[in-house]
Amino acid sequence: MTATFECKGLSKNFGSTQALEDVNISIAPGRVVGLLGPNGSGKTTLIKLANGLLTPSEGEVLICGDHPGVESKAVVSYLPDKTCMPLWMNALQLMDFFQDFYRDFDRQRAENMLRRLGLDDRQRLRQMSKGTREKVQLIMVMSRKAKLYLLDEPIGGVDPATRDYILDTIIRNYDPEAVVIISTHLISDVEEILDEVLFINQGKIRLQASVDDIRQQYGKSVDEYFREVFKC
């Protein structure tokens, strides 16, 4: 079976700084994976490479066997770590936009989630609070039936209620055939919804393991184990 997400000898430098160094990862369909690491460890660089927003310096990224490109972008659903939706649009216009460009966009699903959020369809993104914008953006991203979801810091800087909403949305829309990669440094918040974790630090993958294996083997949570591994 082809891995949904694969990195082979992947490196990326920006000038003289090495952001990623010889990263090798392979993730099979049906996994929810946490990409965990301190700030500036290379999480966002890895996700940008997977989206084709950056070009590798060495090695390659494969999405369902393809290099990032038009085909891979059609099956990857990406949530950047900032608001990227045009602020002049409202929810209806956003849905039109997603429906036009993504064949896997499930409008019904998006409408249901927006209704549950109690949002006015015609309110522009500009007029929404930061938390609401992030929710709307997540709804758009999770309303696609993609093969790979790349969520970059989905719960960074939101209040606990919003965080619960976001995690619940991810669980509810979970597709057993898809891979979800969640990058974050807030491990204890996401730990229970993960199958696997990737520890990344200073551009290198330090560990790929299943959450329950870590708990079984070390008798501690991933969060505690992470703190131990990356003790300063």
Partner 1 sequence: MDWSFNNDTPIYSQLVDKIKLSIVSGQLPPGEKLNTVRDLASEAKVNPNTMQRAFQELEREGLVFSQRGNGRFVTEDMEAIMEAKKAMAQEYIRSFIETMEKLGYKGEEIISLIRGGKEEDKQ
Partner 2 sequence: MLGKLIKHEFKASGRIMGPFILVCLGLSVLAGLSIRGMEAQMDYGWFTVLFGIVMFLFVAGLIAVCIMALVVCIERFRKNLLGDEGYLMFTLPVSVDEHIFAKLIVSSVWFVVTWLVCMLAFVLMFLCNLDMIEVNWSEISYVMDQVWAKLLDFGLLHIIGYILELLALIFAGCCFTCIQFYSAMAIGYSFSNHKLLLSVVFFFVINVALSILQPLLLAVTGNAGLLDFMANSVQNISGPAAVHLVMLGAFLYALVFFVILYIPTRLLLKHRLNLP
Binding site for partner 2 (CB under 8 A): 48, 51-55, 70-71, 73-74, 76, 78, 80, 82-86, 88, 93, 97, 100-102
- CB nearer partner 1, residue 111 or residue 224: 224
Cβ at position 128, least distance to partner 1 in Å: 25
* 168, interface contact from partner 1, partner 2, none, CB < 5-8 Å by kind: partner 1
User: Under the criterion CB under 8 A, does residue 32 sit at the interface with partner 1?
Assistant: yes
Q: How far is the CB of 218 from partner 2 (least distance, A)?
A: 37
Point out which span in 15-23, 63-71, 80-88, 218-226 binds partner 1 (CB under 8 A).
Answer: 218-226
CA distance linking residue 107 with residue 140, whole number of Å: 9
Q: Least separation, in Å, of the C-beta of 216 and partner 1?
A: 5
Among 8, 145, 206, 215, the residue binding partner 1 under the rule CB under 8 A is 215
Could you say whether residue 140 binds partner 1 (CB under 8 A)?
A: no
Q: Which residue, 70 or 161, has its beta carbon nearer to partner 2?
A: 70
CB of 48 to partner 2, least distance (A): 8
- Give the residue with the Cβ less far from partner 2, 93 or 201: 93
Stretch that binds partner 1, among 27-35, 50-58, 63-71, 80-88 (CB under 8 A): 27-35
Q: Which of 30, 38, 52, 59 binds partner 1 (CB under 8 A)?
A: 30
Q: Which among 6, 23, 7, 5 has a CA at the least distance from the CA of 202?
A: 23
Concatenated DSSP letters of the chain: ---SEEEEEEEEEETTEEEEEEEEEEE-TT-EEEEE--TTSSHHHHHHHHTTSS--SEEEEEETTB-SSHHHHHHEEEE-SS--S-TT-BHHHHHHHHHHH-TTB-HHHHHHHHHHHT--TT-BGGGS-HHHHHHHHHHHHHTB--SEEEEESTTTT--HHHHHHHHHHHHHT--TTSEEEEEES-HHHHGGG-SEEEEEETTEEEEEEEHHHHHHHHSS-HHHHHHHHT--
